[in-house]
């Protein structure tokens, strides 16, 4: 340890060197500003969990006033795009080829059975189980459309409906139930992971590959300065990209921002620090761009997509995988971002998540510092 | 000439497989992904935490709560005693849904005045919330149809029977794992082709290739055929895992599946080679792969159905080879799709393949010139 203290001047010039490299390399700008737009665009428009226009076929095996009125009720629903047919076999072929998602069969004797005292008219709903989520929605929506239809009929004909339990649903934070409102904040987490982990891993691995890292180490620069000199510019790049994403999310996709900018900034910083740490660690260990990028994708991108609860519900996964989600920072970031955007600053939730993220950051810095030392 | 191509194929396959770290990077991430995706990529909602505020304590609400407890979808039911506490549990995401029975709930029911229970859903997870709402409604429906309530001699006129074809229990893994065969094929063929030229350029061996007697088409063939071999090999591993470990029934024709996979890989390899001849470094190649794969994966009907997308965006999916391959893989796997339907999805991929391969060879020649 010939140079016990850190020199601000050296640090400044290292940061300057890195900043110049960022600006001169188009791929950094691509990752920080172009890719985020592509991702936000995809999660704002292309990925939508809001079901509309489900293509279903109705096999109308008898034509009576009642069956026609049921078909009309299905047609009126905004959830369905109805294809009518007299023959169920044609519809079954459509179900196999994937042209429709489900079949509603209104059988012969439908109207007669409706008025028989001790019988009910059987309607069959067949959904395409090869897409389970859509199949679920087909079943639920057809059921509720038929329920509404028979209630309306009972009112029109003046027959008494038996006393029934009903429900009244209220949705908090996202009353229009638009999936983009939680997908867009969640996709910001992916953007931050890409910048933090993937970009850093690539950049540092390139320096190792080209041998410029060893060259730097031969200079009086200390490890801490080297690490900070790499991290600070990318940290700023990440914050800039975050600000940009927030603008796009609020300005173009009309996602509400109910929490404060301060909490948004703090959570982002805590996450970025940790994710830069992972990127640095990965590249230092692998020293090859291809390998570093693959590991960065597995450790950064995949968990952000799969284990963060941003698209897929964590509680639906088997317990070991639920345990796994706690080991990656993405989970905490996604929960915090969705809350800050849609619900506002809920202190308990933000403090816990922020605290854990800061813990991750500290851990990865410690590890990187140790590994880089050894590598000398 | 055939000899030269064979030599090139051997060389390319070795180049990919020789470096142990490279090899690991080619095999481990896909396998990890298989395990992860298979278990996490589910839009299904299980193990739900429910918060209940019961101010009624009557027979109807108790019976309904018992039914919630018995349902395998709900894991934990937390009882609270104020609406503030209910709200708090949803706010902190301890419970995804809150249910509130008002004080006169059972009384209203017996008076023949159809009471409503209040359901509070967390809109931060709108899909999950709607599915949970569906579960609750079907429990209520069942209760309504089994309980003869006083007040009327009326009866329900229509009964509904629900069937799910091809996957009767709506097992999500039956959907994810076959789709993964396509995703892995995409990844391997893309990674192998698009990185290859860039790597050679970075290492300086590309110039050696140029002075060799091989022509551009031969070099191209040498770069694409290993991609076919490796991609189909990993697809086969996944297929075996799907059938023998996840026990997903394979109902269709194997030759049809492989035939479609080959056309699919051809369309992807074209894109990979085009990327490879444009970029200067592996890093740029990786970025291009990424910018291609994200939209391709998200707009193929795998994550969410295509008809959910806005109308103006839907036509773009016709240019996406994944769209067709996803239909084929699920069709052949689960539905035993007839050959005419499969071909109906192969020819668009074939057109895309001809287009991308022509494009790639054009870029490739330009790069060599």
Q: Which of A107, A121, A118 is nearest to A153 (CA)?
A: A121
Residue range B355-363: mean pLDDT, rounded:
90
Alpha-carbon separation of residue A141 from A136, A147, A155, A165, B88 (angstroms): 9, 10, 21, 18, 30
What pLDDT is attached to residue A2?
46
What pLDDT is attached to residue B317?
92
Q: How many CB atoms lie within 10 A of CB B181?
A: 24
Residue A192 at interface with chain B, using a CB cutoff of 8 Å: no
Is A93 in contact with A87 (CB distance < 8 Å)?
no
pLDDT at A224 over 80: no
Query: Angle at Cα A252 formed by Cα A307 and Cα A242, nearest 5°?
Result: 50
Q: Could you give the CA distance from residue B27 to residue B29 in angstroms, rounded to a whole number?
A: 6
DSSP annotation of B49 reads E
User: pLDDT band for position A1 (50/70/90)?
Assistant: very low
Helix (H) / strand (E) element for A113: namely helix A110-115
Q: Which two tokens stand for residue B248?
A: 């997903």
Question: What distance in Å separates residue B250's CA from the closest CA in chain A?
Answer: 12
Residue A200 at interface with chain B, using a CB cutoff of 8 Å: no
Q: Which two tokens stand for residue B303?
A: 């994550």
Q: Could you give the CA distance from residue B58 to residue B68 in angstroms, rounded to a whole number?
A: 16
- Tell me the HSE value of A169 on the side-chain side, using a 13 A CA sphere: 19
Share of chain B above pLDDT 70, in %: 94
Residue range B173-177: mean pLDDT, rounded:
87
Q: Looking at beta carbons, which residues of chain B come within 8 Å of A81?
A: 307
pLDDT at B303 over 60: yes
Share of chain B above pLDDT 90, in %: 22
pLDDT at A375 over 70: no
Query: Angle at Cα A23 formed by Cα A17 and Cα A28, nearest 5°?
Result: 110
Which of residues A323 and B145 earns the better pLDDT score?
A323
Share of chain A above pLDDT 90, in %: 15
Q: In what order do the strands lie in the sheet with A166-172?
A: A166-172, B116-122, B97-101, B48-54, B74-80
pLDDT at B54 over 50: yes
Alpha-carbon separation of residue A107 from A62, A72, A205 (angstroms): 7, 16, 67
What pLDDT is attached to residue A118?
67
Residue A2 at interface with chain B, using a CB cutoff of 8 Å: no
Name the most confidently modeled range: B34-48, B154-168, B189-203, B309-323: B309-323
Answer yes or no: do A177 and B131 touch at CB < 8 A. Answer: no
- CATH superfamily ID and name for B48-146: abc type-2 transporter like domain (3.40.1710.10)
Q: Which two tokens stand for residue B210?
A: 């140029």
pLDDT at B149 over 60: no
Ordered by start, the domain boundaries in chain B are: 2-42+171-368, 48-146
Kind of pairing between the strands at B74-80 and A102-106: unpaired
Which of B196, B304, B325 should be substituted to probe chain A, the one whose Cβ sees the most A Cβ atoms within 10 Å? B304
Q: Which of B154, B251, B219, B65 is nearest to A155 (CA)?
A: B154
Q: Which of B151, B115, B112, B158 is nearest to A152 (CA)?
A: B158
pLDDT tens digit sequence for B1-11 = 677 778 777 87
Residue A24 at interface with chain B, using a CB cutoff of 8 Å: no
Closest residue in chain B to residue A351, using alpha carbons only: B92
Domains of chain A, first to last: 8-47+178-375 (no CATH), 54-157 (3.40.1710.10)
What pLDDT is attached to residue B357?
92
Surface of A (169-188) touching B: CB under 8 A: 169-175, 177-179, 181-182
Q: Could you give the CA distance from residue A167 to residue A175 in angstroms, rounded to a whole number?
A: 16
Residue range B79-100: mean pLDDT, rounded:
87
Residue range A156-185: mean pLDDT, rounded:
74
pLDDT at B211 over 70: yes
Which of residues A159 and A87 earns the better pLDDT score?
A87
What pLDDT is attached to residue B171?
83
Query: How big is chain A, counted in residues?
Result: 376
Residue range B247-275: mean pLDDT, rounded:
93
Q: Could you give the CA distance from residue A207 to residue B354 in angstroms, rounded to a whole number?
A: 39
Residue range B74-93: mean pLDDT, rounded:
86
Question: Average pLDDT, whole number, for chain A?
Answer: 83
pLDDT at B154 over 60: no
Burial pattern A339-363, b for ≥16 Cβ within 10 A else e, equals bbbbbbebeebbeebbebbbebbee
Which of A49, A163, A168, A300 should be substituted to probe chain B, the one whose Cβ sees the most B Cβ atoms within 10 Å? A163
Q: Could you give the CA distance from residue B7 to residue B4 in angstroms, rounded to a whole number?
A: 5
Helix (H) / strand (E) element for A233: namely helix A223-251
Q: Which two tokens stand for residue A280?
A: 């640095």
What pLDDT is attached to residue B262?
95
pLDDT at A26 over 60: yes
pLDDT tens digit sequence for B231-258 = 999 899 889 989 998 889 998 899 999 9
What pLDDT is attached to residue B351?
96
What pLDDT is attached to residue A243?
92
This prediction has a pTM of 0.82
pLDDT at B318 over 80: yes
Question: What distance in Å separates residue B267's CA from the closest CA in chain A?
Answer: 22
Please name the member of B41, B149, B165 whose beta carbon is closest to the beta carbon of A128: B165
Phi-psi region of A83 (alpha: psi -120 to 50; beta: other; left: phi over 0): beta
Q: Could you give the CA distance from residue B157 to residue A152 in angstroms, rounded to a whole number?
A: 12
pLDDT at B153 over 60: no
DSSP line for A152-196:
HHHHHHTPPPPP--EEEEEEES-TT--THHHHHHHHHHHHHHIII
Q: Could you give the CA distance from residue A196 to residue A36 in angstroms, rounded to a whole number?
A: 13
Answer yes or no: do A316 and B161 touch at CB < 8 A. Answer: no
Which of residues B127 and B78 earns the better pLDDT score?
B78
Q: How many CB atoms lie within 10 A of CB B25?
A: 23
pLDDT at A376 over 80: no
Please name the member of B119, B166, B195 whose beta carbon is closest to the beta carbon of A130: B166
Q: Which two tokens stand for residue A81?
A: 């795009």
DSSP annotation of B290 reads H
What pLDDT is attached to residue A288?
78
């Amino acid at each position: 340890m010939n140079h016990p203290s850190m020199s601000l001047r050296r640090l400044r010039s290292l940061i300057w060197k890195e900043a110049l490299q960022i600006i001169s390399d188009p791929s950094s700008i691509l990752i920080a500003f172009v890719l985020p737009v592509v991702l936000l665009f995809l999660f704002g428009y292309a990925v939508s969990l809001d079901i509309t226009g489900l293509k279903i076929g109705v096999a109308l095996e008898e034509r009576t006033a009642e069956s026609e009125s049921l078909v009309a009720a299905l047609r009126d629903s905004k959830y369905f795009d109805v294809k009518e047919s007299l023959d169920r076999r044609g519809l079954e072929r459509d179900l196999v080829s994937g042209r429709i998602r489900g079949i509603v069969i209104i059988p012969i004797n439908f109207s007669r059975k409706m008025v028989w005292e001790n019988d009910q008219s059987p309607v069959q709903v067949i959904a395409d189980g090869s897409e389970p989520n859509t199949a679920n929605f087909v079943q639920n929506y057809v059921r509720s459309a038929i329920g509404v239809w028979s209630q309306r009929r009972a009112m029109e004909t003046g027959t008494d409906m038996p006393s029934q339990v009903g429900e009244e649903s209220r949705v908090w934070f996202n009353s229009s139930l638009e999936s983009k409102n939680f997908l867009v904040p969640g996709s910001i987490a992916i953007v931050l992971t890409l910048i933090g982990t993937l970009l850093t891993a690539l950049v540092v691995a390139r320096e190792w590959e080209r041998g410029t890292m060893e060259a730097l180490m031969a200079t009086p620069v200390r490890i801490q300065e080297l690490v900070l000199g790499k991290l600070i510019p990318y940290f700023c790049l990440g914050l800039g990209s975050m600000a940009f994403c927030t603008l796009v999310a609020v300005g173009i996709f009309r996602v509400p921002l109910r929490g404060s900018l301060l909490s948004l900034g703090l959570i982002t910083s805590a996450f970025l620090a940790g994710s830069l740490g992972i990127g640095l660690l990965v590249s230092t260990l692998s020293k090859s761009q291809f390998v570093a990028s693959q590991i960065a994708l597995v450790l950064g991108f995949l968990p952000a997509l799969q284990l963060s609860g941003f698209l897929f519900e964590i509680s639906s996964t088997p317990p070991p995988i639920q345990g796994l989600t706690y080991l990656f920072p993405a989970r905490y970031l996604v929960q915090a971002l969705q809350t800050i955007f849609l619900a506002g600053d809920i202190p308990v939730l933000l403090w816990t998540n922020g605290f854990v993220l800061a813990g991750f950051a500290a851990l990865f810095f410690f590890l990187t510092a140790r590994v880089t030392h050894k590598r000398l | 000439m055939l000899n030269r191509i064979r030599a090139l194929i051997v060389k390319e396959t070795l180049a990919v497989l020789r470096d142990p770290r490279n090899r690991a990077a080619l095999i481990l991430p896909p396998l990890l992904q298989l395990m992860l995706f298979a278990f996490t990529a589910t839009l299904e909602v299980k193990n739900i935490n429910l918060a209940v505020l019961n101010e009624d304590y009557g027979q109807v609400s108790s019976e309904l709560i018992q039914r919630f407890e018995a349902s395998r979808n709900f894991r934990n039911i937390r009882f609270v005693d104020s609406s503030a506490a209910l709200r708090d549990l949803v706010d902190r995401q301890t419970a995804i849904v809150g249910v509130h029975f008002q004080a006169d709930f059972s009384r209203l029911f017996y008076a023949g005045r159809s009471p409503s229970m209040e359901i509070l859903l967390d809109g931060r997870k709108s899909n999950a919330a709607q599915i949970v709402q569906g579960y609750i409604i079907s429990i209520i429906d069942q209760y309504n149809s089994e309980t003869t309530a006083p007040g009327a001699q009326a009866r329900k006129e229509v009964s509904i029977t629900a069937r799910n074809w091809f996957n009767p229990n709506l097992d999500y893994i039956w959907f994810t794992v076959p789709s993964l065969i396509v995703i892995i094929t995409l990844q391997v063929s893309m990674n192998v082709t698009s990185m290859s030229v860039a790597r050679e350029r970075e290492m300086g061996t590309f110039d050696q290739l140029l002075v060799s007697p091989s022509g551009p088409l031969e070099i191209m063939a040498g770069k694409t055929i290993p991609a076919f071999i490796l991609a189909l090999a990993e697809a086969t591993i996944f297929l075996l895992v799907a059938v023998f470990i996840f026990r997903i029934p394979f109902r269709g024709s194997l030759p049809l599946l492989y035939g479609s996979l080959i056309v699919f890989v051809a369309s992807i390899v074209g894109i990979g080679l085009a990327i490879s001849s444009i970029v200067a470094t592996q890093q740029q190649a990786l970025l291009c792969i990424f910018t291609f794969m994200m939209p391709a994966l998200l707009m193929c009907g795998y994550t969410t159905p295509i008809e959910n997308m806005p109308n103006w965006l839907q036509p773009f999916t016709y240019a996406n080879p994944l769209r067709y391959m996803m239909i084929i893989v699920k069709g052949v796997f689960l539905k035993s799709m007839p050959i005419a339907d499969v071909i109906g999805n192969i020819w668009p991929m074939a057109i895309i393949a001809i287009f991308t391969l022509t494009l790639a060879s054009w870029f490739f020649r330009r790069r060599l010139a």
